[in-house]
Amino acid sequence: MLKPKVFIFSPADPTGETYRQMAADGCEVVLGDASWHTPMGNNEDDMCEMAKGADALSGTSIRSSPITARIMASAPELRIIAKTTIGVDDVDLTAATERGVLVTHCPAEANWCGVAEGTLAIILTLLKKARERDEAVKRGEWRDPALQGRYIGRRQDGYAGLTVGIIGLGRIGRRLAELLTPWRVRILACDPYVDLSRFVLSNAERVNLDTLLRESDIVSLHVILTEETRMMIGSRELGLMKPDAILVNTARGQVIDESAMIKALQNGKLAAAGLDVFQDEPLPADSLLRKLGHKVLLSPHMVTSNLNSGLKPGIEWATRSVFSALRGEVPDNVYNKEVIPKWLERFGGRKVL
């Protein structure tokens, strides 16, 4: 009996222990060139060759080539594509579902909760001018009026506080609302795919996108990347925002028209932007975002990266999912659930490990 083949298209375990354990448990393991730190790896042709005969694909985000229908076709017995992260936007879900391939993701609390914590840190850094104050003191300056921050919450003296608009009230959006609760801010939220009860539990007013953009002082994006959300914030939407508003994006770079956002920042139509994600990653050396000074707070797509958490729980979960699929069992984190009946017909109970 041939060993089941697992192609790790974007290895994320820096120790390599996960892959050595897979090999010790009877798998043939092939590692791609991409990684969490360098998402640009093999091209589609390379990946087609490396995926030949694979029973499972796994990895973190990859930018050099998505997991295309052509790559899947290189592996006729492919059972699973197991992402170690939450996002599956770099997988052709339609093709996977048509081929009867499970796509799993890893919404580990260490991941999505880390995004919410990081988002709040970005908001506070921009509102309180933490970077500017630090730099001023190091230059020998003291209490420059230009370094005043903005008070966030409602006060008893009648100050109404700021309004935070959350686009996408999933795990991350709800956790951000929870973290904001003690601050006594007004929370607006827009998400057509969740029940009203979630808004109530999150202490958020349910509004449409245009209302949220018009009334929010801080707008934070927490959506997955789909055809519906791609470029959802463009020139029109930016034009609805307050000129002193802050835009925060820790979702995916492609949900914002980056050129339109840069123009709004340059023209004073938007006060600041906090960005962990970009249209092109890593951020190109000639990106105008690098030249906007304190109008932007930039992070290298690692808002989830924290000691003793980060990708480790996701790697472990994805590995369990691969072994489940190789044993002919459905894992507990399938993203394209509609494929499960078809998958069970092909692979249910059929062990290759």
Q: Where are the domains of the chain?
A: 5-105+308-347, 112-298
Mean pLDDT within 33-62: 86
Average pLDDT, whole number, for the chain? 95
Closest CA to 162 of 101, 220, 236: 220
pLDDT over 90 at 1, yes or no: no
| Whether the domain at 5-105+308-347 and the domain at 112-298 fall into the same CATH topology | yes
pLDDT over 80 at 247, yes or no: yes
Return the DSSP state at 63: S
Mean pLDDT within 104-133: 95
- On whether the CB atoms of residues 292 and 298 are closer than 8 A, the answer is no
Active site residues: 252, 281, 301
pLDDT tens-digit map of 276-315: 999 998 899 999 999 999 999 999 998 988 877 667 889 9
Q: Which of 36-50, 109-123, 332-346 has the lowest mean pLDDT?
A: 36-50
Residues in the chain: 353
Taking the C-alpha atoms of residue 203 and residue 73, their distance in angstroms, rounded to an integer, is 47
Taking the C-alpha atoms of residue 279 and residue 262, their distance in angstroms, rounded to an integer, is 12
Using alpha carbons, list the distances in angstroms from residue 269 to 154, 246, 344: 25, 10, 53
Task: Check residue 143 and give its pLDDT.
Answer: 96
**pLDDT band at 330; cut points 50, 70, 90:** very high
> First vs last Cα of the chain: how many Å apart?
9
pLDDT over 90 at 173, yes or no: yes
The amino acid that residue 34 corresponds to is: A
The amino acid that residue 266 corresponds to is: Q
**CATH no. of 5-105+308-347:** 3.40.50.720
Task: Check residue 145 and give its pLDDT.
Answer: 96
Task: Check residue 134 and give its pLDDT.
Answer: 98
- On whether the CB atoms of residues 216 and 164 are closer than 8 A, the answer is yes
- Order of strands, edge to edge, in the sheet holding 102-104? 28-31, 5-10, 56-59, 80-83, 102-104
Task: Check residue 306 and give its pLDDT.
Answer: 84
Helix-helix angle 130-138:109-127, to 10 degrees: 60
Taking the C-alpha atoms of residue 320 and residue 314, their distance in angstroms, rounded to an integer, is 10
Place of tokens 């509004």: 207
Question: Which secondary-structure segment (H or E) carries 18?
Answer: helix 17-24
Q: Which of 11-15, 162-166, 243-247, 314-318 has the lowest mean pLDDT?
A: 11-15
Mean pLDDT within 53-82: 94
Instruction: Kindly state the percentage of the chain with pLDDT values over 70.
Output: 97
**pLDDT band at 352; cut points 50, 70, 90:** very high
**pLDDT band at 37; cut points 50, 70, 90:** low
Return the DSSP state at 64: S
Task: Check residue 310 and give its pLDDT.
Answer: 66
Using alpha carbons, list the distances in angstroms from residue 311 to 82, 83, 133, 208: 13, 11, 33, 34
pLDDT tens-digit map of 189-245: 999 999 999 999 999 999 999 999 999 999 999 999 999 999 999 999 999 999 999
Query: What does 169-186 look like in DSSP terms, one character per residue?
Result: -SHHHHHHHHHHGGGT-E
Q: Give start and end residues of each alpha helix (H) in 37-188.
A: 44-50, 69-73, 93-98, 109-127, 130-138, 171-180
CA 122, 123, 128, 130: dihedral to nearest 10 degrees? 0
Q: Does domain 112-298 have CATH number 3.30.420.40?
A: no
pLDDT over 70 at 36, yes or no: no
